[in-house]
Amino acid sequence: MAYIGQAHDVVALKDPEFIKSFHLRGRILYKQALSWREVIRAYLKSDLDEDHLHRLKLLEIHCIISEIHLDCILIPCDLSYDRYEETFKALLDDCTAWLKQQVRNGVPRHITLGEGILLPLSGIARLCRVHDVRMEALYLIQSVTWQEGAWDPQFLALGELGTVLMEERGREETGFIPASSRWLWVSNVDGENEGDGPLGLYISRFLGEDGQPLVRVISYDISWWDEVCDISGCKKDHATRSRGVFQPRPNTVQKVFMSE
C-alpha cells in the first residue's frame, strides 16, 4: 500500500530514470501479488474452519485490489482501470458475501484495527466507472456500523461520493468518463472560518497546462446521494444490496421473537 500511495506523486515527476526504477519495482510487487493470490486460493479450497476461511477471503479481496492498483497506478489519467470492470463487479459480489458472513458471525461493536472491508469497497467506488457498481459499493460502506482504523464509514462514503459526483457531471453521452473528468479524493482541509466544517480536497490525474494536477476544494454535502443519480438519470434503488446485508428478513425477526 505504501508503494501505491507514492505512485500518484511519482507519475508527476520528470525524472525518467527514477520513474523507470519505480515502475520495475511495481512489476515485481505485481508478480508477488499474483503469487500470493494463488496461495490464498489454495488455502480457500482446504478444509480449514469457517473463521479461518472468512479471514482468508478478506485477504484474497485485498490481494485482487492490490493487483489492479499495481497494474494501473503508473498509467496517467486512470483510464487503464476500465479494463477491470468485470473484476470490480465480481469483487463487489465477494465483498457483499463477506459482509453477510460477518453479520452472521457478529459485527464488531465499535472499532477494529488494521484494514478490513472498507478499503476494497472504497477502491471499487473510486476506480470502477460503472455507475451502478460504484453506487452499490458506496451504500455498503455507508451501512457499515463499525469503524476500521481511522476510517469512519459514513464519512468515507461521503468523501468518495464527491468523486463520483464530479465524474458523473463529466460523463459523456456514450457513458465514457474522459480523463479530464476523473478525480481522486485526497483528504480533508479546514474551512476558512473557525466554525466551518471540513472541506474535501480532490485532485485530477489529468495534468493542467502547467504540468500539475488540477485541484478542487469543495464542501461535503449529504444531498450528493440524490444529486449523483439525478445527473445520470438513474432511478434505481442502489441501497437494495446493503439492505440485504444489514437488515434482517422479516421471517428471521419473527423466528427470533418466537424463540424468546
Range picked from 13-22, 158-167, 199-208 for highest mean pLDDT? 158-167
| Higher pLDDT pick, 256 / 78 | 78
Tens digits of residue pLDDT in 222-246: 999 999 999 999 999 999 999 999 9
Q: What is the distance between the alpha carbons of residues 86 and 9, in angstroms, rounded to a whole number?
A: 28
The three-point CA angle 75-161-208 to 5° equals 40
Distance CA(33)–CA(13), nearest Å, equals: 26
* Residue 199, phi then psi, degrees to nearest 5: -110, 160
pLDDT at 256 over 50: no
What is the C-alpha to C-alpha distance for residues 152 and 150, in angstroms, rounded to an integer? 7
| Cα–Cα dist 57/96, whole Å | 12
Q: Cβ distance 166 to 183 under 8 Å? A: yes
Digit-coded pLDDT (tens) for 37-58: 999 999 999 889 999 999 999 9
List, in sequence order, every residue forming a beta bridge with 185; answer none if it has no partner: 202
Q: State yes or no: pLDDT of 10 exceeds 70.
A: no
**CB count, 10 Å around CB of 158?**
20
Q: Quick count: other Cβ atoms within 10 Å of Cβ 31?
A: 12
Phi, psi values for residue 2, rounded to 5°: -65, -40
Contact at 8 Å (CB) between 161 and 224? yes
Q: How much is the pLDDT for 195?
A: 72
Query: Which is nearest to 148 in space by CA: 195, 108, 186, 193?
Result: 108
